[in-house]
Amino acid sequence: MQVVDRFGVLHVSSERSDIEKLWSDSFEVVAKNAAPPMITIEGIRFLRPDLAVVQASWRFTEGILLVDGDRIPAFSGTDTFVVMKSQGRWLIAVHNIQEKRP
């Protein structure tokens, strides 16, 4: 599995636990009372019955409150997913985030 973080650093791991730790470390700095983003599905395009491209836009209207009291200002973005159906479940094969500043 490969993840490029928001700073452009490539994280390569064959262990699921390494990727889970990368994400859990990110979420630890966000306060539990931070408002979740507003999410809108912009479109779903089926390439085959078992393969689709999904685009979703999102916006943190209040920004993100960090546990140390700092606040990241409001921002938004668009996510593009390539999803595939396997054994009756939709799985994410590719995920790309495009972040926008207000």
Task: For 77-96, give the DSSP string.
Answer: EEEEEEEEEETTEEEEEEEE
Q: Determine the Cα–Cα distance for residues 59 and 102; give it in Å rounded to an integer.
A: 10
pLDDT of residue 102: 58
Q: Which amino acid is at 35?
A: A
Distance CA 33, CA 44 (A): 31
Sign for the pseudo-dihedral over CA of 95, 96, 101, 102:
negative
Confidence check: pLDDT of 22 > 80: no
Q: Is 10 exposed, middle or buried (0-12, 13-18, 19+ CB in 10 A)?
A: exposed
Q: Report the pLDDT value the prediction gives residue 88, as an integer from 0 to 100.
A: 95
Lowest pLDDT segment from 4-8, 26-30, 47-51: 4-8
What are the structural domains of the chain?
A: 1-29 (no CATH), 31-100 (3.10.450.50)
Which pLDDT score is estimated for 69? Answer: 84
> Where are the strands (E) in the chain, listed by range?
2-4, 10-12, 38-48, 51-60, 64-65, 71-72, 75-86, 89-100
Q: What is the mean pLDDT of residues 37-54?
A: 96
Per the model's pLDDT, the better-predicted residue between 48 and 97 turns out to be: 48
Tell me what pLDDT residue 30 has.
76
